Structure 1
Amino acid sequence: MLPVVKNLVSGAIRAPQTKNLLSNSINLLSKRFYVWSIEREPNHKFKKASEIIREKEIFEALEKTKEDSKNPEVIKSILKKAKDKALLKNVVGGSEYVQGLTIEETATLLNMDSTNKELTSLLFKTAFDIKERIYGNRIVLFAPLYISNYCVNSCTYCSFRVQNTHGTRALLEKEDIEREVVTLQRQGHKRLLVLTGEHPKYPFEKFLDALKVISEVRTPPCGEIRRINVEIPMLSVSDFRRLKNTNVIGTYTLFQETYHRETFKRVHPQGPKSNYERRVLTFDRAQTAGIDDVGLGVLFGLYDYKFEVLALLQHAQHLDQTYHAGPHTISIPRIQPAANAPDAIKTPFPVNDDDFRKLVAILRCAVPYTGMILSTRETTEMRNQLLNMGISQMSAGSRTDVGAYHRDTSKKADELLHQNTEYNSSSQFTLNDPRNTDQVISDLIKSGYVPSFCTACYREGRTGEAFMNIAKKGDIHNFCHPNSLLTLQEYLTDYASEETRKIGEELIKKEEKRIPSKIRLAALKKKQKRLAAGERDLYF
């Protein structure tokens, strides 16, 4: 490695007088000089990104549907169609599978006036009814775990960008990872989203080693991580196979950030991430390598949210049509302030709360079978509201700076909120929900939701096309509802506060009555007795 680049990687270049040297080093690293994942199977052929994300079609649909969006009867008709499909009514061609909305139908809803209380209320109710029909009242919980914030990319919305020379760079070695995972397990977490930047300081091989460490950590009484999802840089087909062969990962998540080509180019001026074509095709490479659970996402605020929603839909349709499995999840973050990241400090296309609530509900109607993820970028109040508009997964007790979990165990919620709102922090972005995991779970229970740490589908092979076939029939609820009660019982026994345990046990009794099958209820009761006797990790 070049000496200057080596010094940058190690964090040795800091002084102002080395500014020019640092700039040159950044340019070397962030252009094509370094790629995290090398392709060893170069002969695979995929569609062009322009055939998947068809910008002209999106703009035409948004323009064409402006008038229809003003007609309440048209809006009501689209929402009725969305609900009927989710309830398997009037399904075209005798298909038993749930289908979402078309590009034009979704565009019509997007053009709808967000301040029209009657129509937005109907939209929200429809989205909630669809989510309840397919996923029930469960909310799957997870925590993000940042392994390294070293990065060669220059993303204008992220504090991990290579140009940010003021924040502290860090990475977790084996012992650090173990401490972080132990802390998370003692909070009750069973599912993690593991993230890292793109940098030679933390190569892909080292990340694979980290996955093995995470999967092997155990803490008393019954702490273990049962599903590891990953949000990491673009991989080649050959490296996706290596990731798959670890046998420990669930969903591979990658945010396009923005599907608008010109905006993508502007906000990614340098670095491997600036390759729009390669980024769009990442999920095709994943599917080719056998990773059939993938998660889409954009960062709302970089470009017009209406365009981004329709592009997400196009991408989801491509995956469904090509690989018979749409995205397992769609994430919906909004830009929040981040240190030394110009587009995070002054958002180019701000999405107000009314429009944000609307787009969440529309996505639920458009892709009813897909899990929708909400992070702690949003406030407690907004997160509570969006539970009623189609959200099915959310993070709890999150930290977005490296090594923060075991450092922050003694801090109070208000201290953590203050810490994460400081621009000079080492967090990737500002957090707005400071609740700890038990507080999130308690609030969910009080609102009538079942917090779930279930990982059964992943370990039973209900992934990709197999999962979608069940979800599109509306049958996934029959597995997930009793499994969520079992994981909640585990949490209440092993980790919950006394108050949360009390209200959680009452919720479980109530939810048992909602299980329509006497056979399934009897089977659940048997597993609950085994849990009470000390067994763990029981599921259908």
Structure 2
Amino acid sequence: MTLQNNSHSEISLTSTENRDFYEIFSTYDWQHTEKDIYAKTVEDVQKALRSERKTLEDFKALISPAARPFLEKMASESMKITRRRFGKVIQMYAPMYLSNECQNICTYCGFSLTNKIPRRTLTDEEILKEAVFLKKKGYDHILLVTGEANRTVGVDYLKNAIRLIRPYFSNISIEVQPLDTNEYEALIAEGLYAVLVYQETYHESCYKIHHPKGKKSNFRYRLHTPDRLGKAGIHKTGLGALFGLEDWRTDSFFTALHLRYLQKQYWKTRYSISFPRLRPHSGGLEPKVVMTDTDLAQLIFAYRIFDEDVELSLSTRESMNFRNHIIQLGVNSMSAESKTNPGGYTVDPQSLEQFEISDERSTEAIAAMIRNKGYEVVWKDWEKGYK
């Protein structure tokens, strides 16, 4: 397995063992990579589709404008690969927002420090109330979400939250501020299953524009978070970029580059890819680049063709119509009935959300839709006893 740089010379992944990802990432120029993707031809796409072992150059072709005439073929191939690898199942999960406290300034987020909103962090009693509600809905896979405020919702708070809900859920994941390796180890010991940490954008100079203040402004520290997770022995790491900040094709290439590096370095860890598009929020940022539904479908097909093992997850950011159709064509994990505000299910439904969701259907309605399409709803995908 190889990585290819912009001059098309190949770097053996075995040579990455003594190099961190930033060193590899730094050999790629954003503008050159973007130009290379947009220069791909129909012949490049056909070659990529024929290739038995997909390379990063193949991925560039599959996400390029030249692949647009091949979407039907890509959709068919994506569906075939997904069914062969995962069967006709969709894993369901729900986010549980614990806090909207945040020490960062992020141009696109409703929880940004500069937004004058009421701040709230759930108490033990409130956490349990939310957990009971979601458990009754059938969920066994929960994603705990906070703003990035280490003093308020640091490791001790997260440890306590995991201890509180562990009797209710088999799979506990988090999407919080990046932590150090020893901190992840402490959370794993409490029962942590997975961590989602999105780079937002891999365009380093533009990353600084969107994150001018707070710990999140440290591009390299955030970029190395999946490495710290791998060293801590996490079961699953979630990657992704926030589409709308910069060119979605180029950000997706760097996400794929990151994925390949991590798969080689931390082969015991599983990986997932998410596809968040900018959604409205208080004082919101307008997308710099609009990603259409067709663009998103192309990207999902490309990822599935590129890597049959990676989990592809779609949230309630996306519309009912899009989610209804895409479940048969590549994704294998979905959220439902999501609330993006602390205590949004039972404690404080009217508090400010991090962003607006699009698919507002109930858990029961989405589960029924999945079953009506001939798919099975799976509430968890891993049991500790079988690790």
TM-score, with length taken from structure 1: 0.65
Range moving further from structure 2, 56-65 or 394-403: 56-65
2:236 — aligned with what? 293
Greater share of residues in helix: 1
**Contact in 2 for aligned 1:230/1:251 (Cα 8 Å):** yes
Q: Report the 3-state secondary structure (helix = DSSP H, G, I; strand = E; otherwise coil) of the residue aligned with 1:141.
A: strand
1:428 to 325, 337, 354: 354
Cα deviation per residue 1:167-201 (whole Å; 9 max; x = unaligned)?
22111110000100011111111110111112222
Residue equivalent to 1:137: 88
1:263 matched residue in structure 2: 206
CA distance in 2, matches of 1:379, 1:385: 10
Deviation of 1:56 after TM superposition, in Å, equals 2.6
1:201 is aligned to 2:152: yes
Q: Secondary structure at the match of 2:356?
A: coil
The residue number in structure 2 matching 1:181 is: 131
Cα distance in 2 between the residues matched to 1:198 and 1:391 = 28
| Structure 1 gap ranges (5+) | 1-44, 86-98, 217-223, 410-418, 420-424, 462-540
Question: In the aligned structure 1, how far is the partner of 2:248 from the partner of 2:269?
Answer: 21
- Report the counterpart of residue 5 of structure 2 in structure 1: none
Q: How many Å separate the matches in 1 of 2:171 and 2:20? A: 32
For residue 427 of structure 1, what is the amino acid of its counterpart?
A: E
Alpha-carbon distance in structure 2 between the residues aligned to 1:196 and 1:403: 11
Rounded Cα–Cα distance in structure 1 between residues aligned with 2:26 and 2:295? 23
CA RMSD of aligned residues (A): 2.1
Contact 2:281 2:353 in 1 (8 A): yes
Tell me if 1:441 matches 2:375: no
Q: Which one of 451, 455, 459 corresponds to residue 377 of structure 2?
A: 451
Aligned CA distance change for structure 1 residues 107 and 431 (closer, same or farther; 3 Å): same
Alignment match, 1:29: none
Does residue 1:229 correspond to 2:173, yes or no? yes
Q: Provide, for residues 285-311 of structure 1, a one-character-per-residue CA deviation record: whole Å limited to 9, x for no partner.
A: 111122242111111111101111111
SS in 1 for 2:230: helix
Cα distance between partner residues in 2 of 1:237 and 1:298: 22
- Shift of residue 325, structure 1, vs aligned partner: 4.3
Contact 1:70-1:112 at 8 Å conserved across structures = no
2:184 to 230, 235, 240: 240
Alignment of 1:48-87 (within 5 A): 48-54=20-26, 56=28, 59-64=31-36, 66=38, 68-71=40-43, 74-81=44-51, 85=52
Q: Which has the higher contact order (CA 8 A, sep 6+)?
A: 2
Q: Which residue among 168, 171, 191 is the counterpart of 2:141?
A: 191
Separation of aligned partners in 1, 2:33 and 2:138: 46
Question: Over residues 197-229 of structure 1, what are the superposed CA-to-partner deviations in whole Å (9 max), with x where a residue is unaligned?
Answer: 12222222111101100113xxxxxxx311101
Does residue 380 (structure 1) correspond to residue 320 (structure 2)? The answer is: yes
Q: As a proportion of its length, which structure holds more strand? A: 2
Distance 1:452 1:155 in 2: 35
The CA distance in 1 between the partners of 2:212 and 2:36, in whole Å, is: 33
Matched with 2:59 is: 106
- Output the CA distance in 2 between the equivalents of 1:391 and 1:57: 30
Query: 1:274 maps to what in 2?
Result: 217
Residue pairs, 1:431-510, within 5 angstroms: 431-461=357-387
1:431 to 1:201, Cα distance in 2 relative to 1, 3 A: same
Larger radius of gyration: 1
**Structure 1 201/58 Cα, relative in aligned 2: closer, same or farther at 3 Å?**
closer
- State the distance in 2 between where 1:302 and 1:405 align: 30
Query: Measured at CA, do residues 458 and 128 of structure 1 come closer, stay the same or move farther in structure 2, by a change above 3 Å?
Result: farther
The alignment partner of 1:263 has SS state of helix
TM-score normalised by structure 2 residue count:
0.90
Q: Who is 1:254 aligned against? A: 197
Q: Is the 8 A contact 1:110 1:306 kept in 2?
A: yes
Question: For residues 333 and 176 of structure 1, what CA distance do their matches in structure 2 show?
Answer: 28
**What letter corresponds to residue 333 of structure 1 in structure 2?**
P
User: For each residue in 1:481-509, what CA deviation from the matched residue of structure 2 results, as whole angstroms up to 9, or x when unmatched?
Assistant: xxxxxxxxxxxxxxxxxxxxxxxxxxxxx
Instruction: Tell me if the contact between 1:337 and 1:429 (Cα under 8 Å) persists in the aligned partners.
Output: yes
Partner-residue secondary structure (3-state), 1:277: helix
Question: Percent identical across equivalent pairs?
Answer: 28
Q: Distance in 2 between matches of 1:331 and 1:320?
A: 17
